DNA sequence: GGACGACATGATATCTTATAACGTGCCGAC
DNA sequence: GTCGGCACGTTATAAGATATCATGTCGTCC
């Protein structure tokens, strides 16, 4: 929830270099996504924008999202119908996510092993990839540890009762 | 569009073995998916079911889909909001798809290279995977060939005009 | 400076996808 | 027989996304 100054500044520069306009609406959406640091749905973004001066309608949000996606500044997470700011938008890349079912945390993979293995599989079959969606739902390391502790405590408690 | 007798028979056996019920509604949905041989949306399935004796409402379709997903008889393609019958449901597996943007054809990968590289990446980070979504959008081999031919013909035509 | 065109936004309506909530009927266990 | 679990019916509504047309904004060209 830190102010996403750095991300915005970076985006400004990238857009200027490319000759595209990071307008108020687009910047606002990017700010909301970066500040959240988690997947946010389009309608939630819309609500967040309402807090400002004016009311916005769905197309406004979706248009801003479309632009940010094109520029590689954000990613869409298909399995959540939600969007996240990109960690490292400097170079265009396909995104891969680890999504925690417990705490909702989302981590963007930077490793390209998956990308390479996908590339080799598709090349073999003559398929020309354009966009990749790789999303793994599961339990993140932190939640796994927490659950492990809880299990232990429970076991201890039961042992205590039996004694 | 072949009659999906084999798939249905196989599903019947699997359900019996597991002690779960492949009811009329569930079988009907599976038939529609297998017969289509392409991704089909829930509401399209609903329309297909209407052709039969009775009217069905969305929850009926979604409940059947939920059951079939649980039993591994079908997969959901997140990026299309659609469902497909599974090629090889005998052993539970996570699904990986190549989706053609041109003709809409969907191929389920059987190769497990992607699965393995994903597994190693997630293991390293202490993440416990539950469900994987791997969907690659692009141009299938057949459409790529077709486009290649079209490009050649166009080039020939232009050469002809210049001459 | 004024006309024009490209692009961005506003506003309204509608469409698609998915689920909540509650009731009914079937069937086997006891 | 009745009880409980499960599948299904029915109605309503939530949630996500897009189509369409009007309006505004801004730089360019004359
Ligand atoms: Zn990224
Ligand atoms: Zn977690
Ligand atoms: Zn499968
Ligand atoms: Zn194709």
Structure confidence by residue, pLDDT tens digits, A105-124: 999 998 888 999 999 999 99
Return d(Cα B54, Cα A115) in angstroms, integer.
47
Q: Integer distance in angstroms from CA B23 to C1' C18?
A: 22
Range of the domain at B70: 1-89
Domain's final residue, options A63, A89, A115: A89
Q: Please measure the distance between the N-terminal and C-terminal CA atoms of chain A and give it in whole angstroms.
A: 47
Furthest-apart CA pair in chain B: how many Å? Answer: 73
Contacts of A18 (CB under 8 A, 6+ apart): A71
Q: Are residues A83 and A6 in the same domain?
A: yes
The residue among A39, A69, A89 that closes a domain is: A89
Summary mean pLDDT of chain A = 90
pLDDT at A28 over 50: yes
Give the integer Cα–Cα distance in Å for B148 and B154. 10
Contacts of the segment A51-55: beta carbons below 8 A, 24+ positions apart? A52/A28
pLDDT of res. A110: 87
The percentage of chain B sitting over the pLDDT mark of 70, rounded to a whole number, equals 94
Note the pLDDT of residue B163. 62
With a 7 Å cutoff on the CB, does B26 touch strand D? yes
Which pLDDT does position B162 carry in this prediction? 64
Q: How many domains does chain A have?
A: 2
Helix locations, chain A, DSSP H? 5-18, 24-36, 42-50, 58-70, 113-124, 141-162
Is some CB atom of chain A closer than 8 A to the CB atom of B55?
no
The protein residues having a beta carbon less than 7 Å from any atom of strand C are A 20-21, 23-26, 54-60, 63-64, 67; B 41-44, 57-59, 62, 81-82
DSSP at A99: E
Tokens of A107: 């981590």
The pTM of this model reads 0.90
The per-residue pLDDT for B150 is 79
What is the per-residue pLDDT for A163?
A: 63
Tokens 């486009």 belong to which residue?
B147
């Amino acid at each position: 929830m830190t102010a996403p100054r750095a991300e915005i500044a970076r985006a400004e520069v990238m857009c200027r270099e490319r000759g595209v306009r990071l307008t108020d609406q687009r910047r606002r959406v990017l700010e909301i996504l970066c500040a959240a640091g988690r997947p946010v749905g389009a309608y939630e973004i819309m609500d967040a924008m309402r807090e400002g001066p004016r009311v916005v309608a769905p197309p406004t949000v979706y248009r801003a999202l479309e632009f940010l996606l094109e520029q590689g500044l954000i990613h869409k997470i298909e399995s959540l119908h939600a969007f996240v700011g990109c960690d490292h938008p400097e170079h265009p890349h396909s995104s891969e996510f680890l999504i925690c079912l417990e705490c909702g945390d989302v981590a963007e993979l930077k490793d390209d092993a998956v990308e390479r293995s996908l590339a080799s599989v598709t090349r073999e079959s003559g398929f020309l990839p354009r966009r990749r969606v790789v999303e793994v739902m599961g339990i993140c390391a932190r939640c796994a540890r927490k659950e492990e502790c809880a299990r232990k405590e429970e076991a201890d408690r039961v042992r205590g009762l039996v004694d």
